[in-house]
Structures are given as C-alpha cells and as structure tokens.
C-alpha cells in the first residue's frame, strides 16, 4: 500500500503525479514527496514500526516507488546475467552499453570509445573522448542558467 499522494515542488508548490522526475518543470526546484498523512497515522503506528527489523525497508510504505524494489533488482540482475552469458566476449561491452541507455549518455560514449579503440587504438580513443568531454563541459558552462534567473 502506498501512502504517496504525489510530488510537490519545494520552491513554487506545483504538484505532480508520483512518477520519476528530476525536478520541477516550472522552476527547476527540488521535488518532495507529498503523503496521505491521515492514512499513514492509522497504519504505521509506533508499535508497528517498533516490531519491524532495523533495515532499510523498515519504512518501505513511504518510499515514492510503485513497484516492489526486490522484484526490480531481481529482474535487473537476471537480465544482466543472461546477457553476459549469451553474448560473445568481443561484443559484450557494446551490448551492455545499449542495455544501459536508460542511464544517460555514458553508454553511447562507451560504445563509441570501444569502436574507436578497436579501429584507431586506445590512445586516440581516450584522447578523443577527453576532447569531447571538454567540449561538452564548455557548452554546459556557456549555456548554464545565470544564478537566480529561475525566480
Ligand atoms: Zn517549482
């Protein structure tokens, strides 16, 4: 049972449904979890909490996630293991890079670095990735919002 009502921006108060968001789409402020506090008080009493083992799952009903985290971890571990067992050694890194695309652009860089290292050599691959990183950092610094421009 989830007690999560939704997400709420700490800066502007805008409310969002309980889903994975990096921050407020209105002001880029941090999002906090908004709970059904009356329901929590009825179910999660001091006695209930005291009866639970001291682990990271003691307050699991308050986590802003929908799925059971154990099942999610298990699914991730099984899929990673099956891929590593079935993909030839030479392609394993690239295949895992594609699998991890949901974690940002790092896998794209990893796959590209592997391609460059195989065809041009490791020093050129690492050097070109360093130059690309510096260019991206320069763009990020140039495009960064000025302090206080969101308010
Ligand atoms: Zn906001």
**What is the tens place of the pLDDT at every residue in 95-126?**
877 777 766 667 677 778 888 989 999 999 98
pLDDT at 124: 92
Both 79 and 126 in one domain: the answer is: yes
11 CA distance to ligand 1 middle (Å): 5
Q: Which of 62, 80, 98 is the last residue of a domain?
A: 62
Taking the centre of ligand 1 as the mean of its atom positions, its distance from the CA of residue 72, in whole angstroms, is 30
Residue 50 parent element (H or E): helix 46-51
Residue in the block written with tokens 């510096």: 134
* 100 shares its domain with 73: yes
* Residue recorded with tokens 């800066």: 11
Same domain? 83 vs 58: no
Give 64 Cα–ligand 1 centroid separation in angstroms. 18
Residue 150 inside a domain? The answer is no
Global pTM value: 0.42
Kindly indicate the confidence band of residue 151, based on its pLDDT and cuts at 50, 70 and 90: low
Ligand 1 centre and the CA of 18: distance in Å? Answer: 15
Q: Residue 151 falls within a domain, yes or no? A: no
Structure tokens at 140: 């990020």
Whether 139 shows a pLDDT value over 90: the answer reads: yes
Rg (CA), the chain: 22
Q: What average pLDDT does this structure show over 58-73?
A: 69
- Domain hosting residue 21, numbered range: 4-62
How would residue 69 be classed by pLDDT, with cut points 50, 70 and 90? low
The mean pLDDT of the chain is: 83
The CA–CA distances, whole Å, from 26 to 8, 31, 32 equal 11, 11, 14
Q: How many C-beta neighbours within 10 Å does residue 24 have?
A: 21
Instruction: Say how many domains are in the chain.
Output: 2
Going by C-alpha positions, the residue among 51, 91, 64, 50 that lies closest to residue 6 is 64
CA of 6 to the centre of ligand 1 (A): 14
């Amino acid at each position: 049972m989830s007690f999560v009502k939704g997400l709420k921006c700490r800066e502007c108060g805008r409310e969002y449904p309980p889903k994975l968001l990096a921050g407020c789409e209105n002001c880029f402020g941090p999002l906090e979890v908004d709970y059904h506090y009356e329901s929590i008080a009825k179910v999660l009493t001091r006695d209930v909490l005291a009866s639970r083992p001291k682990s990271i799952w003691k307050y699991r009903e308050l986590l802003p996630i929908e799925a059971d985290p154990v099942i999610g971890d298990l699914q991730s571990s099984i899929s990673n293991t099956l891929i590593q067992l079935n993909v030839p050694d030479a392609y394993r890194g690239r295949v895992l890079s594609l699998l991890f695309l949901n974690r940002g652009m790092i896998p794209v860089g990893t796959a590209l670095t592997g391609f460059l290292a195989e065809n041009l050599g490791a020093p050129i691959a690492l050097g070109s990735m360093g130059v690309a990183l510096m260019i991206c950092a320069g763009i990020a610094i140039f495009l960064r919002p000025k302090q206080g421009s969101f308010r």
